[in-house]
Every structure is written in structure tokens, then in C-alpha cells.
Structure 1
Amino acid sequence: ASSDLNLTQSLATDTSDRREEIPEERRTLIKEKVKRETVTGVDQGIIMQGWLFKEIQHNVKAPWLRVRKHWFVLTQDSLDYYTNNELNAKRLGMLVLTSLCSVLWPDKGTYKGTGYWNITVYGRKHHYQLYTKHLNQCIQWACAIQNVINCKAPVETPTLLLIQDIEKNCTNSEVLENIYKWNPILQHTQNPLYSPLLPFPYGIGAHHLKNTKGYTTLHDEAVKVFNSLQHLETEQDPIPLIQGILQTCLDLEPLRDEIYCQLIKQTSNPPHVGSISDLRNWQLLTCMSVTFLPSNTVLKYLRFHIKRSQDQFPETEVYKYAEFIADSLVRTKCRKRVPSCEEILVLMRREEMSCTIHYAGSKLCRVTINSHSTAGEVVNSLLVTLGLGQSRNRFALFEQNLTDQWLVADDTVVADIITRFENLAINVEEPENQWKLYFKLYCFLDLDNIPKNNLEFALLFEQVHEMVTKGYFPASEETLLALAALRLQFTIRDFTTHVPLPKLQELFPMHILQARVQQSVKALLSTNSKGLSHLLPGALASSLWGSTTQKQKLEEEQLLKVRLKEEAAALMATIVEQWKQLPGMTQLEAMTTYLSIVREWSGYGATLFEVGAFMNSAVSVAQTLWLAVGAKGLALYKQGDVESVESFDYRQISSFEVTERNTFKITLRKKDLLFESCKAQEIVQLITIYSANHFKSSTRSGDHRSRPIITGSLANSHHCNLHNDSSTEEA
């Protein structure tokens, strides 16, 4: 029944002919198969044998799985399959096992789709797709094959052997020169590369990225990148190609050593030292050195190459690039993103770049950073530049646009944020909605002793006003109108018609106006049975079309827009009238009055987060509340309510932890509170800082009660000094 099976690999009868077909540098990767010898009817060296299904290979992919049953035998040298389990059965195929072979383990997806558990064994030229109906059997085969692979001696390519020779003879210049002279594989070439310089596991090394980013095998990707390096030497605009190579290396970590070796090869004895084509490779090597590091073996080889290049070409551009790279290798940690186009441009010139930090409304500060500068370093630099070094409050950087705001961890590389903003800007049409970096108050530890003539007071005022306009200050409309008038007085000074007014959403929480208008429109709908056409302007009413239901929906939408516009105009007029009543009030008085009004609310000075709260263990649906995290404790508010539902200080908290990515738990003395929030890590980090400060203050005053236990994992935040200059200006 199996006589019509197509062989996946026919056995060579003449092994000498087969060896002649194998390139010299790859012969060490192939092990010759030893013929099986039998003793008393039992094969020697058999590790495992049994029936498995093997996928039938066809030129045209069938919509269903086609398998055939074979007898498989695993030995220390190979995985063979036969027609049956008899002693004289015909061997149909053989997969030689080396240390570069790999096994892809079973997954539930294949089982759900086919009813079979599947393992894939990758060899140098082909692979076996094996299937069984039993998971235990599948795992046993996968473990046995992987153990054979693990016991094989590591395969070493000529380049890897030469790297070892160079390391052994690094102090003997004569031997080194002979190594380079007689081994062209270490030197620049204009010929294509047909196989990687370093050994790679066979098969789809990047199978998890194949569908999303189109990657193939690591072997093929390495050859493609070398082809790109040769194109780079003549490219007019090298930045996109450099960024693409860096992205490939960032996605495929095993490829990084290979590309470092390729660049070392291409910068060794080039035809024209210091030419544009030669410097292109040094520029890419510069960008790689600030993005990720190679393994220790390749790192030693890279440092040797840099020192050799400096000795060979002193006082040249090559020397300067080598010096820059050597310095970067000491400071680099693996980045999360590749350098932006702006960063690549400055790296090609071995320069630093300028980063714009916004603060206190329309003000901004330009800070000089490099590829290693962290957010904590930038914050420390700004504290000195802006004269805030003596403040007891804490500051941080935030990523922010019109709708969202995210805390930047102190150890985040700022250059990664710039790359992220560059990628996001492609899909953002409105300039005002672009992402920006803001310097803000982070922990409000001492609000009572902020000097009023200090920048810190202005920062506090701006953040409180932002909280008000986003709807995180529960107050009557009358109070909100008064605050809006004070904001106008602060922004424009005394009433005038010569200065354009800011948008209403910059003065007043728009959701209150929208809720009021929607309620009035619904009231009209419920009381007016004749329709709403007579309530709309003639042009709008006559332009409506369609069925009755659709017409009513369109009428409602049009009426909502019209009423919203009318109410917004009326609201702005009311704000302006109140603004006219504040002549002569200075900016400082406007800020002080504004903050005194907001200070009356119990949530003043706390950071508010919208959370889903499970107040009862029997309830499976979260209740949306405000969680206020402040210096004295925590409080829960219903959205829009002045009084808190529940509040507790840090002495009542036994422990707190992030239980899942977006879930955190606070344990009190008598109950547990479970919360959901996309900012769970930020919330727990704030609680950590506030509780530590609270118990530090309590200890000073003689209260030695135990502090809450942090049982979740939090990133350690730290601050370092930024050694670059900063300049400030007002937009």
C-alpha cells in the first residue's frame, strides 16, 4: 500500500559522490550514516522506534491534511523511516541529526484543526512533519529527538574557528597578519554571501514572526541582510535601509551576532579606506552599537577589530567612528525600539540630538540627549535647569496627547520614545494631537510650602487646571464657570477684544455641556410627536431624506449639533461676562484664587485614576469609580460625587500588589479590594512612593507601626545625572 509513496530524500549509494557535491566549508555539517548492524534480530543504537504519521508532500497544497503511516527509528545519528517494522523493511528516508537540527513542539492549534498532535523536525535540506493522535507519544518523540540533538558536538563554521584563532593570538601581530592574509572570509568582499558566517539552527527560527513580518529562516535572513549591506555602500539615502536592518536584528535576536560579524568583515581591508562606501558600513556599525550588544564572544572580536582599525588608520574618519563605537559598547543596554530617522542622522555624524520637553502649559525646554539617556537622567537635568532641585515633591516625564497620558519609567531610554512618536505621527493628521513629552509633578508630597513665585507653583496650577477640564473635579456649573473666568484672566490678563479667545474645551469640562444638551434633546423627543424638523433651520430640515426611522435619527443628530453649538456659545459668553468682573487681577492672584477653590475638595493633591472596582467578592461586574492616590491615603469616589464612598490611610493597608497586567489588589485589615485599570503598574508605584514617605514621616514623629507589604513585582526607579546642557524657552 505504501509502494506509491514519494521519497522525501533518497539515500545516496555512493557517499563519495555526495561529498563532492557539498561545499568544502559545509562538509563538517554532514554526518555519514553508518549502516545498521543486527545482533540477534535487534538493531544496535536504537533510542526509540514506533509508528507515526508523516505528512505527504505535494507541489500543490491540499486544503486538508494528507498523512501516511510509517515505522520510525531514532538513533544517535539520524531519524529514519521504513515501510514497516520488519527487520528487512525498506528504508524510505533519513534525516541526519546534528547540533543545528531543531524540533518544533506540538501546539493545540494543530490538534484542533486536524485531530493530530504534530512535531516538526528540521534538518539541513528538508524536514519531517510527524503526527500522532496521542499527546504523550508526541512529547516522548520530541524529547528523545531533542536529547539526541543536544548531545551532538557544536558545529563550528570557518569564521567561528578563525575568531577563536584571533583571540588566542591577539598579542602576536605576525600571526594575526597571516590569519587575515590567508583567510579572505575575514575581509571585505564584493561577492554575494551564500551561507551565514556563523552556524544557525535549521528550520524556521523565526516562525512566530513569519506571518506578521514575513521572515523566513535565519539562514535566509542572514544572506538577505548581507545583500542589503552591499547595497548600502552605494545607497544615496541610507537611513531607511539602516533602519530596516536594525529592525530585523531587533526582531530576530539570534541574527545580531551574524550581522556584527558581517560588518566586521566588510570594514576589514576595504578597497578604499575612508570612502563613502566604507563609511556607510561604519555608520551602520555605529547605529548597531547603540541599539543592542552581541554575545561575549563576538563582543571581544568586535573590540579587537575596533582597536586594530584605530591602530591602522589614526586621525581618520574610520578612527573617529571606531572611537565612538568603543564608547557606546560600554554604555549600551538592549533597546526596545530601533533608532528614529532623526537619531540615525545624528549618529551618522557622531553627534547628540535635541529633545523637546513641554511643561507648564505652553512652555518648552530643549534638552541635549544621546542614545543612552534615560528619562530619570532627563528629569534630573530639568530639576537643575528649572531651579527645582530643592523641591520636596517628585517629578517625572509623561507621554501625552489630547486624550491620553502615560507615565514614563525612569529607566526608559528617551530615544525609544522619540522613535515611538515618529511611528505614531504617520497616522495622526492633526498637529495638536501629536504625542509630546511633558515634565510634570508626579508625587504631591508637600503642597503647602510651594513658593508662589516659583515655577513649581505654575506647574501645580497647570496640572490642577488640566484635571478640571478633563472632568476630574466634581463641582457645580457655577463654580466651573468661575474657574474658567479665572483661567482667562491668567491667560490673557484683563478683558480685551484684541486677543482671540481659547477654545471652550481649554476652559471648561465639555462632557458636562454635552450631557446637558443630550438630556434636553431627549426631552424634546419624548414630548414632541410631530418630529423635529420645525426646530431646525430651513436648510437643514429640507435636506433630510430617507425612511421615517432614519429621518428621525438624522434629525436628532442635527439638532444635537445645533444645540451644542448654541449652548457652547452661550456658555462662552457667560464666562466672558464673569471675566470682565476681574479687572486688575494679576496672574499670581488668578492662580492663587483658582487653587483655593479647588483646594476645598477632599481629593485635592491626589492623582485620580478611573478604575473598575470589585467592592464585593460575590459581584463579577466591576463598578467604575475614581481612585484618588494621595500623600495621606487612598479614597474612592463615584464619578462626579464630591464626597468619597470610602477612604483609608496607609496604616490600614496590609499589602498591595499587581496580580495581573491590568489588575491590582489592596489588602486592608478586614477585606481585600480588587481593581482593574490599564495603569495598574503606575498606581501601585505611586502607592509605593506615598506609603514609604508616609511611614518615613511617622517614624520621625515616633509612630513605629508596620508599613504595608509590597507583594507585586515593580521596576526599580532610579535617577542619574545627565551631563548634557539644556536650554529653555517659551513657545
Structure 2
Amino acid sequence: RNWKKRYFVLRGKTITYYGEDDLESAKPLGVIELSEVSGILEEGGSREHSFGLVTPSRTYHLTADTDVDRREWVEFIRRVRGMPEEKVKSLLTHEVDPRNAEGTIDLDSIDSVTAADQEKRPNSFAVITVGRVFNLVAESPAAMHQWIGALSPKKYTLGDIDILTSCQHKGWLVKEGKIRRRRFFVLTETNQIQYFRTEDTRQPVAGSIPLNCLCAVDLYDDDEVKETGLYTFRLHSRKTTYYLTAKTADEAQEWIVSIQYVFCQLVKQTFIINEAEVDKPGVLSCWQTLACMCCTFVPERAIKRYLTMHLKKTIERFPDTEMGRFATFCDMNLSRTRKRDVVPSRDEIIACLGRRDLKAVVYCYGGGACNIELNTATTAGEVVKKLSLGLQIGSGNNRFALFEEYAGNFRVIDDRVVLADVLAKFEIEMKEIMKKGQNMLDKKRLFFKIFCYIHPERIMYDSIEATFMFEQLADDIAMNRLPLSHEVMLKLGALRMQVLDGDHETGSFLKDIDEVYPLPVITARARSHQDQLVSGDLHETYYQKTLKAKNIGTLSKKFKLPEIGDKERAEAAVQVEMQKIRVDTTEYWKRLRGVSTSMAQQKYLEMIMEAPAFGFSFFEVEYNTPDQRFPKNLLFGVGARGVSFYRNGESSPMKFYPYEIITSFGAPVQNVYLLVVEAQNPISIETNEVVEIAKLMKAYISSISV
């Protein structure tokens, strides 16, 4: 695409663009009417800071200088696009006249001004006075902060009020919970934050946050500030995450720095002058707390330098003591600790207390598993690289990744994610599952498998990578994640039996046919053939099964079979269809006598690579674009060369779109995925796997560009 720089101006519901920014002399090059915009793409293409505006005639692909500019443009366009015409006109013609004011706010009566947290009213803030609270909404986050700064009263001085004799920091914050409450917080030298309903700390304490078990403190996110206008930082303790909101960035930073002085307090408590105190239980308890914090907490630069100096001096003075070993462990982890998103798990804290690495198990297809050791900063990408090197599968023919697996469902883990966070999330989610009383037979686990099929045709058939492909494809077929023809699945089932069990022997029986042939397809075939099957076959199948279960014996040929209901007829039809597939697969298996295991696996891979659906990952979607050729429910496939749509139960695609003609893709709203294709209307599909589809498409497109 040929990108051209243009100067855009939004007036009312019209965007006009020019070749230069001198509007007095420049002539407009074009106009975009927001009334004609049917959708806004948050990501307008592969270029950074881009977004798209979809109109009936074309899709405008725009890119800003920064991501902040992009967000502001998208926000303004979305707001103006939804305004009534009368309101837009009033905004263009309105002039402020103090004589027309409907009311006044006495600045001397303002107690405080704070940003509000209201999803339906962005950029809102509250002016709290003696008599009432004024809830106001600004045009943008920047305007909201300007108003807050202009209206905020000077900081209240405590005068002769004695808060705490050991106070390190104090001030007003907004504590989030079921209800957002404004409280007066005090940080004490006893490593505790206490909060009160008023500034008079002689009143009862409303609550407290102990910092000795603090695991992490997160600074506010710049993007979040732009979206919400709130300077919210998080305090993670072992059991609770506290969300605290300051009025300004400086206040939030002051609180975070003050809280981080807990490190300094721990340095004091672990600094030993009298050698008789070395390795005393009380001192080692402080070292354990310091070890946990060094593994899960990123301190400020100045505090980190101070802490590092203390650790190195301890290592030099007490090298062969428990204190020295704790100092070595802290120093090693302090240099590699990353910002954490989840409160550490119980296993991770136990590992830190014991100065050990965290242990985990990574599973793969074929029943394999690998025990791995990871520290609190190990990422998913590092584990994938280590496993790939160890298994000698890092040739680039396929891209492997770690996945979260639960009950047969997979979600890819980004290479940059800290695995300790993933394990901690598993612990939290499994506790929620236990509370709900759900099935605990399945547990969340890490899974190593192929993410993208880049160049599968290049693999060596006798390699470990080929075995990985064989097992993963077999599972995809059994779980109905790969649409193939009936004949192909029969032959593939026979080849898999040859790999697993060798030559067919007399009496060999395919007991678990659903391991080589998907049960949903069997059911669908039985439903379509149900009316065509002979009634006697249905009766015989159903009643033989029933009598055998009741130990009654076989039926007499002269015994008249009674009528059976629809449910029983459907069950019998499935049994008949399953038996037919079992017999047909066994016949193909008999023909493979003498074929070696390695050759059977090679034939399996060669056959499946010829299928149109090979190399695609499939997602169940609803097709929302008006088109009589496409049914509502479809399979959407993402592959190395493009994307495709399949009817359920068909092995060939209805439509294939190569990446070369896909100009942009993204999610304009939740659970809706939009594809913009050259020379046709945008394609809209609905799915709850939008994120997974986007990750996969970006991975394939990036592999093409490389």
C-alpha cells in the first residue's frame, strides 16, 4: 500500500483531509462523512499506530504518529459518530457567557477534586464540597486533568494533629472495591499502611494493609490513564490485590516510592553488626521475606543500588552462613526479576523461602511430559527455545509454543509472558472451579505443541518433529478439529493403528473407534442415514445391546420386535454407523500388513498433507455478513497462506482468501472479527476466540515477511 501523509480536520460529523496544514490556502483533497462509517477498526493494518474507517464505498486506512494520537482519534470519532445532529450543531455554535450561568461553585468550599471511575461516563470527575458533590464530565482525559488541577485546593496541612509518631507518608487515596471509597492513608515504619475515614487519625482505623507479605507494587499504566483518566496503582499481597487511585501522577509516584522503602526497612533488619546474631531465627525470617520480595518485586533504581550494596557486603562478610546463601539468592534474582501481573502462587513462595527454582510439568501429545525448572522471571519463550533445542526441532519448519490446556481446549501463551504468572493464575482459577463444585478430574496444565505450520513439507519423516506432527494431527482428527473426507479419515485411522499396534492379527478389534475417528462426525453421519437404515437392523442393534446388558440372552427369530422411540432409534443408528466405520477401518488396516511403523507414519503424514484443510487451525464462527451462499454457522480456518471458510461436515473450503488481498483485520467490538478484503465488502464473523485468531494471523503474516 502506498501511504501518503495528509492533514486531517474533524468538524462536526465530517473529516476533511488536506495535502498540507495551512488550511487558509489549502484545498481539501477529500471528505469522510462519519454518518456513512459503518465500523471502526482498532488496528487498520500491519503498520504501527494505524486504524481503519469502514464505509460502503471503501475502507480508509489511517496511521497516526503515536499510539496515543491513534487512541485519541478513535475516541473522538466514536463519540462524535454517536451524537445526535442537534448536539453536534450546539457544540459548533456554543459560546460561553458567564451571565447565562445556571449555577456557581464557591472555590473556597471545595474540599477535594478527584477522577471518577465510571465506564459509561469516561473522563468524569467529582468536585466534593461541604454541601454536595458535583459529578462532571470533561471532553478528554487531558481536559479532565486540567480541570482537576485548576479546581483542587492546596494540600491540607496537618498542623498539630499527631497522626502517628512513626509516619513515613500520608495522604488521600481512593480505595476500590465493591464501592469506591475515599480514605486517608498513612504509611508507618512498622511496615503497615493504615487508612482512616478522615484526616483525624485519633478516630478508629478503617483498615490496614500489612507490607511484610507484600509481593508486588505496580505503577499506573499510561494507556490506562489515557483511557480512564485515573492514576491507579496496585498493591499485591498474598491474598488480596488493593487498587488505589491518586489524584495526580506525582502523588502516585510518591506513594510507590514510599512503599518501596520497605526494602530499606528489611535491609536494616537483616544488617548484622554483632556476629552473635548471625543465622538467628528472627534474622533468617527477615531474610526469607527479603528473598520473596527480590524474586517478585522490582524496586526503584536508587533503592535497588542500596539493596545490591547490602547484599554484596553480606556475601563478603558471611559467605558460609545461611545469611550469606540468602544474600546470594537475593542478588541473583534481583537482577532478573520482571514486572509481575499476578500474585505469586503458594508453590512459588515456598520455592523462594527454600532458595529453590520453581518446578513445573510441560505436557505434549502421545502422553509425554517433561519436568522443567524455572525461576520467577522465566518466560514462555525461553522454555520453548530450551525444549526445541533439547528435542532438536528448532529448524524453523514449524513454530512451536506453550499453551494453556484445560479439558482439551488450548490457548496459546505469548512468548514474553512470565510462566510463574501463568502457574499462579492456574492456582487462582482452579480454586474458583472448586468453589463452583465443577469437575476436578481435569486440571489446567502447560502444553507444548505446534502453533504454526510454516514449512511442514520440509521435515524429515524419521525426525522427532515428524512424530510431534503425527501425534498432534491424530489428536486434531479425533477431536474434530480438522475437516477431512470420510474416506481419508478411514485410511488415516488404519495407518494410525498400523503405527500403534503393527500388523492386524486375527481377532484384533478396534474397541475405541473414537480415538481414530471423531465421534461428532459419527453422530452426524448416523443422523443423516437414520431414515435410510433398515428398521430391523436398528431393532437388532438396540435390543441385542439391551438384552446383553440384562443377561437375558439372544432373541428368538420368531420374536416380534416392539416399536422403539426416537431417542432409542437415534442411539441405535449411532451404534450401526460406528460398527460400519469400525469394519471399514479394519479392512484398510488388513491391507497394510508388512508396512513398518516408520513407513506407516510417513504415509499418514503424506496423505494428510494432501488434504485441503491441512495446515489450518479452525474456529467455530457465525458469519454475519449478508451472503446467501454462506450459512450462519461455519468453520473459519487460519493457515500459512491465508484464511478459509468451511461448511460443517465438508472437507473442501467454500472460500479461500490469501493474505495478499487482506488489507486489514481486527476486532471493532467485543467478540466480532472483521476482515477487509480487496474488491469486496468487509467480512464480519462472531466468535469468542477473537484474540486467538488475531495472534495466529499475525504469526503467519510475520513469518511471510521474514
Q: Report the TM range for the smaller structure's normalisation.
A: 0.5 to 0.7
User: Is 1:147 paired with 2:150?
Assistant: yes
2:379 equivalent among 362, 374, 384: 374
- The letter of the residue matching 1:668 is V
User: Which runs of 5 or more structure 2 residues have no equivalent in the other structure?
Assistant: 1-97, 195-206, 216-234, 246-251, 536-541, 551-563
Residue of structure 2 in register with 1:413 after alignment: 418
Check the 8 A contact 2:263/2:303 in 1, yes or no. Answer: no
- The letter of the residue matching 1:282 is W
**Cα gap change, 1:645 to 1:476, in 2 (>3 Å):** closer
| C-alpha deviation, 1:455, in angstroms | 0.8
CA offset digits 1:502-545 (Å, max 9, x no partner): 74432221112233455677999x9xxxxxx999959999xxxx
Aligned residue for 1:441, secondary structure, equals strand
Structure 1 segment 220-239 matched on structure 2, within 5 A = 222-223=193-194, 229=212
Aligned residue for 1:466, secondary structure, equals helix
Check the 8 A contact 1:260/1:285 in 2, yes or no. Answer: no
Give distance in 1, aligned partners of 2:258 and 2:318.
25
Give distance in 1, aligned partners of 2:243 and 2:318.
34
| C-alpha deviation, 1:394, in angstroms | 2.0
Give distance in 2, aligned partners of 1:268 and 1:251.
29
| C-alpha deviation, 1:615, in angstroms | 3.8
| C-alpha deviation, 1:266, in angstroms | 4.9
- The letter of the residue matching 2:107 is L
Aligned residue for 2:456, secondary structure, equals coil
Structure 1 segment 540-555 matched on structure 2, within 5 A = none
| C-alpha deviation, 1:558, in angstroms | 6.6
- The letter of the residue matching 1:445 is I
Give distance in 1, aligned partners of 2:117 and 2:325.
51
Check the 8 A contact 2:214/2:236 in 1, yes or no. Answer: no
Give distance in 2, aligned partners of 1:196 and 1:522.
85
Give distance in 2, aligned partners of 1:314 and 1:215.
49
In terms of fraction of residues, the more strand-rich structure is 2
Residue of structure 1 in register with 2:237 after alignment: 245
Check the 8 A contact 1:197/1:261 in 2, yes or no. Answer: no
1:603 equivalent among 590, 600, 613: 613
Structure 1 segment 460-479 matched on structure 2, within 5 A = 460-479=469-488
Residue of structure 2 in register with 1:265 after alignment: 265
**Cα gap change, 1:350 to 1:496, in 2 (>3 Å):** farther
Structure 1 segment 355-374 matched on structure 2, within 5 A = 355-374=360-379
CA offset digits 1:196-249 (Å, max 9, x no partner): 85434425x322x3469x9987559824666584999xxxxxxxxxx9824535
- The letter of the residue matching 2:498 is Q
**Cα gap change, 1:649 to 1:309, in 2 (>3 Å):** same
Residue of structure 1 in register with 2:126 after alignment: 119
Give distance in 2, aligned partners of 1:198 and 1:522.
81
Which has the greater radius of gyration?
Answer: 1
**Cα gap change, 1:416 to 1:537, in 2 (>3 Å):** same
Residue of structure 2 in register with 1:512 after alignment: 521
2:354 equivalent among 344, 349, 356: 349
Give distance in 1, aligned partners of 2:649 and 2:476.
13
User: Is 1:654 paired with 2:668?
Assistant: no
1:437 equivalent among 446, 470, 482: 446
Aligned residue for 1:643, secondary structure, equals coil
| C-alpha deviation, 1:385, in angstroms | 0.5
How many matched pairs?
527
* TM-score of the two chains, using structure 2 as the length reference: 0.61
Residue of structure 1 in register with 2:464 after alignment: 455
- The letter of the residue matching 2:598 is L
Give distance in 2, aligned partners of 1:150 and 1:319.
51
* TM-score of the two chains, using structure 1 as the length reference: 0.60
Structure 1 segment 613-632 matched on structure 2, within 5 A = 613-616=623-626, 623-632=632-641
Residue of structure 2 in register with 1:486 after alignment: 495
- The letter of the residue matching 1:353 is L
CA offset digits 1:147-175 (Å, max 9, x no partner): 3547549999xxxxxxxxxxxxxxxxxxx
CA offset digits 1:694-718 (Å, max 9, x no partner): 456xxxxxxxxxxxxxxxxxxxxxx
Residue of structure 1 in register with 2:8 after alignment: none
Structure 1 segment 177-196 matched on structure 2, within 5 A = none
| C-alpha deviation, 1:497, in angstroms | 9.4
Check the 8 A contact 2:172/2:182 in 1, yes or no. Answer: no
Give distance in 2, aligned partners of 1:141 and 1:390.
53
Root-mean-square deviation (CA), in Å? Answer: 5.0
| C-alpha deviation, 1:376, in angstroms | 1.1
Check the 8 A contact 2:170/2:184 in 1, yes or no. Answer: no
**Cα gap change, 1:522 to 1:197, in 2 (>3 Å):** farther
Give distance in 2, aligned partners of 1:408 and 1:153.
48
Give distance in 2, aligned partners of 1:257 and 1:249.
18
2:175 equivalent among 206, 214, 223: 206
| C-alpha deviation, 1:380, in angstroms | 1.2
CA offset digits 1:130-160 (Å, max 9, x no partner): 24598789x999976653547549999xxxx
**Cα gap change, 1:563 to 1:670, in 2 (>3 Å):** closer
| C-alpha deviation, 1:412, in angstroms | 1.0
Residue of structure 1 in register with 2:203 after alignment: none
**Cα gap change, 1:206 to 1:487, in 2 (>3 Å):** farther
1:387 equivalent among 362, 372, 392: 392
Give distance in 1, aligned partners of 2:117 and 2:393.
58
Give distance in 1, aligned partners of 2:705 and 2:486.
39
Give distance in 1, aligned partners of 2:113 and 2:488.
69
| C-alpha deviation, 1:387, in angstroms | 1.1
- The percentage of aligned residue pairs carrying the same residue is 23
Give distance in 2, aligned partners of 1:141 and 1:343.
42
Aligned residue for 1:361, secondary structure, equals helix
Bigger mean CA deviation after superposition, 214-223 or 508-517: 214-223
User: Is 1:291 paired with 2:291?
Assistant: no
| C-alpha deviation, 1:398, in angstroms | 1.8
User: Is 1:641 paired with 2:610?
Assistant: no
1:105 equivalent among 116, 140, 143: 116
User: Which runs of 5 or more structure 1 residues have no equivalent in the other structure?
Assistant: 1-47, 54-70, 81-94, 96-100, 112-116, 122-126, 157-192, 233-242, 527-532, 542-553, 697-731
Check the 8 A contact 1:250/1:337 in 2, yes or no. Answer: no
**Cα gap change, 1:256 to 1:285, in 2 (>3 Å):** farther
Aligned residue for 1:642, secondary structure, equals coil
Check the 8 A contact 1:638/1:644 in 2, yes or no. Answer: yes
**Cα gap change, 1:280 to 1:494, in 2 (>3 Å):** farther
User: Is 1:592 paired with 2:602?
Assistant: yes
Give distance in 1, aligned partners of 2:465 and 2:484.
25
**Cα gap change, 1:452 to 1:555, in 2 (>3 Å):** same
Give distance in 1, aligned partners of 2:280 and 2:214.
15
CA offset digits 1:70-92 (Å, max 9, x no partner): x97433xxx37xxxxxxxxxxxx
Residue of structure 1 in register with 2:678 after alignment: 669
Check the 8 A contact 1:521/1:556 in 2, yes or no. Answer: no
